[in-house]
Each structure stands twice: as C-alpha cells, then as structure tokens.
Amino acid sequence: MNRFSIVVLLLLIFKSGFAQMKANEKDFVGYLFAYFEGSSDKFKQEQLRFGVSANAVNWFALNLNQPVISSADISQTGGIRDPHILRAEDGGFLITATDMFTVKNGWNSNPGIVLLKSKDLIDWKHHIIDLAKAYPQKFAKVKWVWAPQTIYDVKAKKYLVYFTVRFHNSNELNFYSAYANKDFNGFDAEPKLMFKPKYGAIDGDIIYKDGIYHLFYKGNTKDAAGKEIKNGIQKATSKSLKGPWVEDFKYLDAYADTTIAVEGSSVFKLNHTDEYILMYDLYTNLRYEFQRSKDLNSFTAKPEQFTKNFNPRHGSIIGITKEEVRRLQNKWGGVPEVLLQPAAPNDRYHFQSKGNPIITHEYTADPAAMVKGDTLWLYAGHDFAGGQKNYKMKDWLVYSTTDLKNWTEYPVPLKIGDFAWAKSGDAFAAQVIARNGKYYWYVSTNWSGIGVAVADRPEGPFKDALGKPLLTNKDCFASTHSWACIDPAVFVDDDGQAWIFWGNRECYYAKLKPSMIEIDGPVKKIDFKDFNFTEAPWMHKYKNKYYLSYATAFPEKIAYAMADQIEGPYEYKGILNEIAGNSNTNHQAIVEFKGKWYFIYHNGAIETEGSSFSRSICIDDLEYHPDGNIKRIVMTTEGVEARVKQ
C-alpha cells in the first residue's frame, strides 16, 4: 500500500467515526429479528430481544430469549415495545421503540419513544424523547406515541422518525414524523402530521421500491355510524416522504375477512432475491406469519408460519453479515451453527469458551485431541441438530486453541460422503494422528467399517486414503452384532510403533504399518479381570505406564486399566468418570498440554435442546496420584476456563 492509499484510508476511517463500512446485500448471510416477547414472565416481556435466522423462516432466540438490553436502563417507563431496527448509512445501526410498560402502567398513556444507536449491534447508546415535555405546545395532551420507525431520506440526508399519535381529547390515530438530529438523540424540530388515514391507523412501516414509498399499517373500515366493521393490513403510497399519501383501502393480509386479529406488520427484502416478506403479529393467537411479494402490491394468498423457539411480538428484521452474526454469537449465544461455521477455505471462526460445554453453537461429541507444538487440536463428531431423537451425524469438525479459552473453528474438514464405500451414512467417532509429515484421520462409519483419511495440514481438508475400509466387522472375530467395528483410537509408542484400538462390546487392537494405512499382523482382543467394555477405547502413556480408558456399562461411565506393556496384561483400576449429564454415552480423550493433563468428554448440557443425541464437548482437569493411579474426574460447569488467565 502506497502513502496516498494510506492517507485515503485514514480519511475514510475518520469520516466514518470508526464505524464499520456499510455492508452490501451481497455480504448478508442471515437475518436479525428485533422483538419484544409475548409470553413467559409478563414483567419481562416488554424488553428488547434478538433472534437470528439463516433463511428468514426458521428462527432462534439469542441469549436464551432473555433481554439483550434491560428496558429499565433505556426507557422512561421501564418497558419498551415495537422495536424497529435499521442499518444506518454509516455502517452502524439504529433502533426506535415505544416507551411503554403496559404490565405496570396500563394502556392509558405513554408520552414518548426510545432512540438507540450502535456501531456493532452489541453496545448501544440510548436517548428518551418525551413528546409532552419536549414539545408541550403541541403534545401536552398526547395519549399515545406508538410504534416509531426510521427511514433514511436520501434527499434530505437525514433519518425520518415516524409514529402513530393519539391525543387524550380525540379518538383519531394519525402518523406524525420528525427528522432525527445528527447524533440520533433527539429531533431537529417539533414532529408534524405526516399522514391522516381516513379511519385511523397504527404500526406504520415504510419501504422504498422503484421510486415509490409504500407505507404499510394496520388500518380499518367503519360504517356510516362510525363503527369499525373490518381491520387488517393496508397500504398507502407516495412519491415523497412528505406526501401526499394515497390510500388504496385494500386489505393485504390473509385474515382481514376473519375474526383473527393481526397487527405490527413489517416488510423486509429477502437476501439475494427480488422477493419481499410481509410479516405480522397474530397477537391473540401467539403466532407470527407472513406472505410473499415481488412488487409490494400483490401478495401470496396463503400465509406461512415461522418456526421459532420464542414468541415474538411486534418487531422488525434486517439482513446481517457473517461478521455480525459471529459478533452476536460471541456476546449472547443462540445463533444457529449454519451461520457461524466457516465455509470458504480461508475462513475461520474465532470464539471463546465460557466454561463447559466449551462449544455451544454446535452439537459436538466423541472428542479426540492431538497436541502439535503449542497448539491443541480438537477433532469432534457432529450431532446434526438439537433435540434429536436418534444419532444423526454426517461430518466431523475441527478446532484449535493455544490456551483452552480462545478457540478457532475451521471449515468442515471431512464428511461421511467423502468415503464412497461408507453406505451407512454415519459419521461416528474418530481420531487424528500426526505421522510422516501428514495427518491421518481414523473414522468409524457404523456398520460400514473403519476408514482412514489423510491431509497435509491438521485442519485438512482430508481425503480418503484407501478407497475402502481399513477394518470391517470381519476383523471383529469375537463379535456378532453389526456395529462392532467402531471407535478407532490410535497410539504411537515411544519406539515409533503405531497401534490401533477399536470395538463395541469387545475391544480389539492391532499394529499399524509405518504407512499408517495398513494393518501389520493379526487382530487381537483385549481381556482382563473386571473388564466390562462397552466402547470408546483411548490409549495414553504416563511415566512408562500404559493407560487404557474406555466406556463401560450403559448409560456409560469411563473406566480405566493400567499395564507395563501396551499389550498387557492390564489391571482394572476403577471408574474414572461418572455418567455425563443428560447423555447415555460417554467418550473421552486424554491429553497432556503445556505440562498439564486434561480429560475431554461429552455430555448433553447445551440449553435447551441438549440430549443423548445432541451432545456437547467439555474439558476438565485430569490428575494423578503419586502411585500413578488417576484421580476421579470432577466434571464442572466452570471447566478449565475458570483458571485459564485472560
């Protein structure tokens, strides 16, 4: 970069106030939903919450559906409703919301709105506008100031804030508006009447398309006596934000001719398409539905439903980038893994563990660990989703860390589909070993056998090294069930000899040739007194003793045995790890890293859909007694993060 380029860059940064450059739609990978709640504790409902989606249909609450900002900290009343979020021209974000706490104060009056501003979606500055106090000449008798929203006026180069107003001495519901000042902490001048619908309206939402401003709102129809006979989502249009606004008196939602009430309409454009979504709040039915359009005039007749793990009330949606998605995850959690997982070859997702489980954005199981220099590499099975009723695992994942707190996730390095011979379609437990300047990944595929993949780097990508299984059920000579050939564990001894252990119900082992992709000699079976083997063998060495740990019984615990030689005889030493919470299976990796030993395992502890089939990897300390026996593992919520320095 030359000197001129550096000067230009610095000027751009200075001009933007150090905010990020405004993202383009091409950068959007998902959606952010700002809403308030419609269920659970009523005193917590009227607070700002965020939800995220990859496709604008399936939604996930951030922060376990708890507020991301306390209304008590940002509002005059102690509550907020109807949050509207907008991506600002400088790359930041703006939110407007109704300053109203109906649970505490009722519906009689709310005189103001809340303005929020952020550069990163995480830290927000807020300001309260009380219209009755700020503009008493016009608004001293204001009753309601509802559902404020913001749109950027390209001609005025300002943000127009518009909202519904009702006065105490009137039943009219009209739209008023005012330009926000440059700091977005107040108005330039007293709000003025913007639009006076024939029968009144609430919940306005303006969308600009092809030279026309489309104002969607909840309108109604009244008879000659002034009685409301119909209501629903209507629209007015204008060529200018200053009006005039022309009503068409048509109803756009699918429920206008029914007894089902809707409000809180909001329109947003789907990423990378020419399609728009008109969504609305079926507030008496605890549902949120939507209809589609390409021209904002005609909408699909049949409404569709969101799937979601929260109950949103009147909110709004914007597109968000991968960087923003990851920022939201690192702050609050709850983002679906499809939005976080690296896809491009050079993409990386950096995150911090906050105790156990160490990974909460994905369901991970069957850990295997490898230390290379100052880096611990963690290889994981991947439970497909939360709340599963059976095992669904289609690929494997890889992470690295240098301090057990700060982690890096890499693109998916290996999929079950990479093994053409693996007809089972199951990506079960696996382990990676470094040898000969390469990395060998031994995987189990349920009844299809154990395969080997190879890569030049620990993060992959890996490819099938054999084109066929290394081991199959035929090698499990003492077994009769179809899933006997699983859970490979490879250990390279001090003399350079590599060994592979595996099995279910019976534990098998064999030598590996130096190529690491061929068995050297006969397959043998391990047996000794009190050996109640289920699966998940792992071999490690400490002070010239060999330690065989394994899952025992069902639900599984981890037990271990010791020997002076790798082929035994082994002496049973007892239970090492109790049943891991909310998981019938238990699977361990034991590794020394920077002078300390660690026990890596899985449980089913991710809130709220963790289970025996939707598991999560944890790490706790492993310690030895002076005689070499291992101390019982203490599973903790804090994990090793509790003592890892920042």
Element (H, E) at 45: helix 42-45
Residue 150 lies in a domain: yes
The first and second tokens of residue 565, run together, are 């030689």
Residue 637 lies in a domain: no
The amino acid occupying position 548 is: L
The amino acid occupying position 282 is: L
pLDDT for the residue 641 = 67
Is there a single domain that holds both residue 424 and residue 541?
A: yes
Task: Note whether 233 and 262 are within 8 A (CB).
Answer: yes
Of residues 99, 253, 366, 464, which has the active-site annotation? 366
What are residue 287's phi and psi, to 5 degrees?
A: -130, 155
For 367-404, letters b (16+ CB in 10 Å) and e give: bbbbeeeeebbbbbbbbbebebeebbbeebbbbbbebb
Is there a single domain that holds both residue 251 and residue 398?
A: no
Is there a single domain that holds both residue 400 and residue 548?
A: yes
Segment 278-300, tens digit of pLDDT:
999 999 998 999 999 999 999 99
Q: Can you give the CATH number for the domain in which 622 is found?
A: 2.115.10.20
Range of the domain at 416: 366-631
The amino acid occupying position 288 is: Y
Element (H, E) at 4: helix 3-15
C-alpha–C-alpha distance, residues 311 and 307, integer Å = 10
Whole-model pTM: value is: 0.91
Of 428, 346, 324, 400, give the one whose Cα is nearest residue 23.
324
Of residues 203, 205, 535, 556, which has the active-site annotation? 535
Q: pLDDT at residue 353 above 80?
A: yes
Instruction: Read off the pLDDT band of 8 (50, 70, 90).
Output: very low
Q: pLDDT at residue 20 above 90?
A: no
Is there a single domain that holds both residue 192 and residue 256?
A: yes
Instruction: Read off the pLDDT band of 477 (50, 70, 90).
Output: very high
Q: pLDDT at residue 513 above 90?
A: yes
The first and second tokens of residue 571, run together, are 């002496």
Residue 493: active-site member: no
Average pLDDT over residues 100-126: 97
The first and second tokens of residue 312, run together, are 């949103």
Is there a single domain that holds both residue 459 and residue 541?
A: yes
Instruction: Read off the pLDDT band of 40 (50, 70, 90).
Output: confident
Q: pLDDT at residue 7 above 70?
A: no
Long-range Cβ contact pairs of 108-113 (< 8 A, separation 24 or more): 108/143, 109/142, 109/143, 109/144, 109/168, 110/77, 110/144, 110/145, 110/146, 111/139, 111/142, 111/145, 112/76, 112/145, 113/145, 113/148, 113/161, 113/163
Residue 535: active-site member: yes
Q: pLDDT at residue 22 above 90?
A: no
pLDDT for the residue 475 = 98
Is there a single domain that holds both residue 204 and residue 146?
A: yes
Segment 177-209, tens digit of pLDDT:
999 999 999 999 999 999 999 999 999 999 999
Instruction: Read off the pLDDT band of 552 (50, 70, 90).
Output: very high
Alpha-carbon 570 to chain mean position: 45
How high does pLDDT run on average in the chain? 95
C-alpha–C-alpha distance, residues 69 and 358, integer Å = 25
Is there a single domain that holds both residue 313 and residue 371?
A: no
Which residues, including other chains, have CB under 8 Å from residue 115's CB and lie 6 or more apart?
A: 94, 95, 96, 126, 127, 128, 129, 161, 180, 184, 185, 186
Of 28, 26, 29, 58, give the one whose Cα is nearest residue 339.
29
Task: Note whether 618 and 586 are within 8 A (CB).
Answer: no
Instruction: Read off the pLDDT band of 21 (50, 70, 90).
Output: low
- In total, the chain counts a number of residues equal to 646
Is there a single domain that holds both residue 304 and residue 380?
A: no
Which residues, including other chains, have CB under 8 Å from residue 640's CB and lie 6 or more apart?
A: 404, 598, 619, 620, 621
Q: pLDDT at residue 5 above 70?
A: no
Residue 619 lies in a domain: yes
Paired sense of beta strands 375-383 and 414-415, if any: unpaired
Instruction: Read off the pLDDT band of 78 (50, 70, 90).
Output: very high
Considering only residues 233 and 18, tell me which one the structure prediction assigns the higher pLDDT. Answer: 233
Residue 344 lies in a domain: no
pLDDT for the residue 19 = 42
C-alpha–C-alpha distance, residues 146 and 498, integer Å = 71
Residue 265 lies in a domain: yes
C-alpha–C-alpha distance, residues 42 and 223, integer Å = 36
Residue 419 lies in a domain: yes
Is there a single domain that holds both residue 164 and residue 272?
A: yes
C-alpha–C-alpha distance, residues 638 and 598, integer Å = 14
The first and second tokens of residue 320, run together, are 């968000």
Of 367, 347, 343, give the one whose Cα is nearest residue 356.
367
Q: pLDDT at residue 99 above 60?
A: yes
Of 545, 592, 597, give the one whose Cα is nearest residue 573.
545
Average pLDDT over residues 119-142: 98
Which runs of consecutive H residues, i.e. helices, occur in 49-139?
71-74, 102-105, 131-134, 136-139
Handedness of CA 240, 241, 243, 248 (dihedral sign): positive
Residue 4 lies in a domain: no
C-alpha–C-alpha distance, residues 83 and 97, integer Å = 4
Of 498, 580, 504, give the one whose Cα is nearest residue 539.
498
What are residue 264's phi and psi, to 5 degrees?
A: 60, 40
Q: pLDDT at residue 18 above 90?
A: no
What are residue 178's phi and psi, to 5 degrees?
A: -155, 150
Residue 239 lies in a domain: yes
Cα-trace Rg, the chain: 30
Q: pLDDT at residue 377 above 80?
A: yes
Is there a single domain that holds both residue 327 and residue 373?
A: no
Number of structural domains found in the chain: 2
**Residue recorded with tokens 């079950």:** 416
Handedness of CA 624, 630, 634, 640 (dihedral sign): positive
Is there a single domain that holds both residue 176 and residue 244?
A: yes
Instruction: Read off the pLDDT band of 10 (50, 70, 90).
Output: very low
C-alpha–C-alpha distance, residues 95 and 401, integer Å = 37
Instruction: Read off the pLDDT band of 536 (50, 70, 90).
Output: very high
Task: Note whether 637 and 355 are within 8 A (CB).
Answer: yes
From 317, 332, 347, the end of a domain falls on 332
Is there a single domain that holds both residue 416 and residue 551?
A: yes
Segment 568-619, tens digit of pLDDT:
999 999 999 999 999 999 999 999 999 999 999 999 999 999 999 999 999 9
Q: pLDDT at residue 12 above 80?
A: no
